[in-house]
A and B are shown apart, each in its own frame.
Chain A
Amino acid sequence: MDYWRWTESVWKDPDAPDWRGGTVTAGVDIGSTSTQAVILLDGKLYAYANMRTGSNSPDSALDAMNRAMEGTGLTLEDLRFTVGTGYGRVNVPFADKSVTEITCHARGAHYLYGPTVRTILDMGGQDCKAIGCDAKGAVTSFMMNDKCAAGTGRGMEVIANLLAVPVEDIGPFSLSIEEEPEPVSSICVIFAKTAATNLMRVGWSREKVLAAYCLAMAIRVVRLLERNGVEEDFAITGGIAKNAGVARRIERLLGITALKTDLDTQIAGALGGALIAGDLLKKRQA
């Protein structure tokens, strides 16, 4: 069984009016692990799709966009302006412009969590970013982790497979322990695997090992956040935001509760891209 497989999602606004006659803009975020396509109608969220990134970035972008457009009657020609973002941002064949994921995440988080958000932690597939932003969702400071997938979504997928726990259950599993253990000594994906195996061997339960791993990951990203500066309100975006085992521990370490959203936290980058696409379209028309 592929324990690492997380659930892809597709969403459409059930109450949205017909897009014909409105202005449709889009954002596509090609990450190392997941790809999102977000469609806005007159600046409001209309549809999105969140898929796993395949081996080919242009195909992944197209797949995600096709899923988001499915059943709406939209075609690529109807997208008035599209922004590509994420590490594959220059590989979105139908994009009008590419913008970095840092700028897009801040803007997307501003939409998802409201204008009070000042600190964003994006925990992606292979990197994490601490971002400071202003009331308009413009970046004021940022910091990224360096050259390593430790403490990111990919690391979590590896641990899921190793311990045979579905990746989406890791959070609840890791929180179901009576007493918080010490964090694993290293969150390097390779060393963490060794550490987890050793802990299992000395009799630790899977829950306890997962707690130790989630805690180590939380400590690592909190350091990154603190280096960049933490100001309330605070929000977490990206796939790991869905992992309560990490998210709750980050909140505990910071002493701050993160803002919540009912929407998929992984769409922040693509959503920001779509919002920026709207601004750029207006600028072009002016």
Chain B
Amino acid sequence: MTENGASFETGIFNESIETWKKEGKKTIGTICCHVPEEIIHAAGMLPIRIRATGCTDDSNAEVWMSSFSCSFARSCLQLFLDGTYGFLDGIVGSDGCLMAQRLFDNLNNQFRDLYQRLVVVPRMHTARAIPFYREELEKFRTDMEKISGVAITEEKLLHSIEVYNETRRLIRELYDLRKGAAPLVSGEESLKITLAAMSMPKEQFNKALSGFLREAAKREPPKGGGVRLMLVGSTLDDPEYVRIVEEKGGFIVTDVQCYGSRYLWEPTVLGDGDALDSLARSYLARPVCPRMCNMHSELYDFIMGMAKDFSVDGVLYVKMKNCDLWGGESVHIDDKLKAAKMPLLTVEREEIMTNVGQLAVRAEAFIEMIEGGVS
């Protein structure tokens, strides 16, 4: 609970969702951060970003998605199959990557009574791609109006954009607290907060985060230096993973991954067109992940910009096993980071954490390496 009485809800199903449901309101699950949640919010529904935090067994899902698929997507499916996501009234996915789409296909196949829509998102950021994406968002809006019974007016959408831009501003302020020589917020805590942003009403979250920021700014800075690391790579929705690294003497001071900074960061800029047009333009312009075919250099520039702004000593590049996008991108980024003399540790991970010891020894050795040896 923060000083203004609001608290973060980090569970997949939590008290704020329970209250929301009791009020007779609907919740919509979203897959991938290319689904503009503002449209769901404007319809008076609660967007919940699908994740698999804490999943410890994906054996039911493995029947549908083989061990060669993405274990994050598979674990998400598991949580649908075991009823964890039973509180949802609908799902909106996007073809963010093949595995996000396979997850959606499986949900489509197995939960036929549940409302589902796939928003097709262009893989190119070009002038021609924007009207296409806008059209997709238009269909998405129509559907949201139908299932909520609420007309999504321009005014409502503009209000939602304002609420979301406030969330973005606050999340950036949260990250700012990690910029100093002694970060006031750990990487683990920060990830818990961005996960909360995906799992509770934004107004409530904004209030909680505002209160938290005021409190955290007064914190006593941690004593002693630590190696400043940046986390880059595939989806990482597990604060435990970050904790293991930080326990070895590193601070995760920032990240470039879609459950952290890549969720809500760049504000939606209102342009000459309507709100939907502004959403399409702003969402497509973000360097989020290597899915965008013509934005590799923007993504790299964003990573290096983050490294500079947060005085990063080394990059922890975490690839989800079988992740085509970040797995493939690492071939290019490895060379670029090496050329920029940025220390790099690449690790492979699976959603169900089984290799704690292996991660710990690599992280510890990486930290020792950056420190120039122990002595």
Contacts and interface: CB of A to CB of B under 8 A. Distances in A.
Given A87-B357, A139-B368, A144 B362 contact: yes
Interface of A: 87, 97, 99-103, 107, 136-144, 146-147, 276, 279-280, 282-283
Contact of B364 (A97, A100, A107, A282): A100
B355 A87 contact: no
Nearest to A86: B361
B365 interface: yes
B374 interface: yes
A103 B372 contact: no
26 contacts: A97-B374, A100-B364, A100-B368, A101-B361, A102-B361, A102-B365, A103-B368, A103-B369, A103-B373, A136-B373, A137-B373, A138-B369, A139-B365, A139-B369, A139-B373, A140-B369, A141-B369, A142-B365, A142-B366, A144-B361, A146-B355, A147-B358, A276-B373, A279-B375, A280-B374, A283-B375
Contact of A87 (B348, B361, B365): B361
Contacts of B355: 146-147
Interface size class of B (residues with CB under 8 A): 10 to 19
Residue of B357, B372, B373 with most chain A CB atoms under a 10 A cut-off? B373
Given A100-B364, A103-B365, A146-B348, A138 B372 contact: yes
A87 B356 CA distance: 12
Nearest to B357: A87
Interface string B4-35: 00000000000000000000000000000000
Contacts of A146: 348, 355, 358
Contacts, number: 53
B375 A144 contact: no
A102 B358 contact: no
Interface in B335-375: 346, 348, 355, 357-358, 361-362, 364-366, 368-369, 372-375
Interface of B: 346, 348, 355, 357-358, 361-362, 364-366, 368-369, 372-375
Nearest to A98: B364
Contacts of B364: 100
Nearest to B248: A100
A99 B373 CA distance: 9
Contacts of A102: 361, 365, 368-369
A191 to B, nearest CB: 16
B353 to A, nearest CB: 12
Contacts of A283: 375
